Chain A
């Protein structure tokens, strides 16, 4: 992975920092801040909060992937390999990909990740908690595969599973 991609730069007289490899403005947020935000929205909206984070994740996944597709000029599995490295714990730090399995013929696939920043920060839960990542993966793969996809988190570290697993299906 090109280390250059992870480099951030500050521009004089701007409050921004930019990720050099993709040129976009980024912000640094404590992982716990995101989890606090999620918990607070869950306290107000109950179970519907998961749909809200899922929808937000789809949008984030689609928009960020559009930028990366343009920047990297790679497509398909080559893109996904690079994308996985970009987001892993040593990169942006959202998660660490364990396995990506996309079966184009059977129209389904799964992504397994460890160190999800949401699951690890959330604490114990009796249901999956990575709603944003769930939508995010759906959004990313919709852009990469140019298919309509839906995603369900079937395993989650917050539930006591060894990893978080996201099952993707065409619809």
Chain B
């Protein structure tokens, strides 16, 4: 959603994925698969997302990290709220459009 609004950007694609799946813990390969990008591209945007506090990084293997949305971060809470409101706005717009078409 944010990628469509403010992108295109691989960083926003990844952020969107985590905002849509706030409970999921995903490693780099899984993230890359789900955003349909090469893991090498995704690995380049992860440090900033972690550094800025959007994502938590967990070590799950010798050199493997997994990531989860940092739902404790105030900015992330705002983004979740903003995303919900945007979804409602899109939904009502779509419904209005359907009404107009029927009429």
Mark A residues whose CB is within 8 Å of B: 46-48, 50-52, 54-55, 58, 131, 134-135, 138, 150-152, 171
Contact = CB atoms under 8 A, between A and B. Distances in A.
A58 B42 CA distance: 13
Contacts of B75: none
B45 A135 contact: no
How many chain B residues sit at the interface, stated as a range, is 10 to 19
A118 B39 CA distance: 22
Contacts of B88: none
A52 B39 CA distance: 13
A152 B47 CA distance: 15
A53 to B, nearest CB: 9
B44 to A, nearest CB: 4
B59 to A, nearest CB: 18
11 contacts: A47-B44, A47-B48, A48-B45, A50-B44, A58-B41, A131-B44, A134-B40, A150-B32, A150-B39, A152-B40, A171-B29
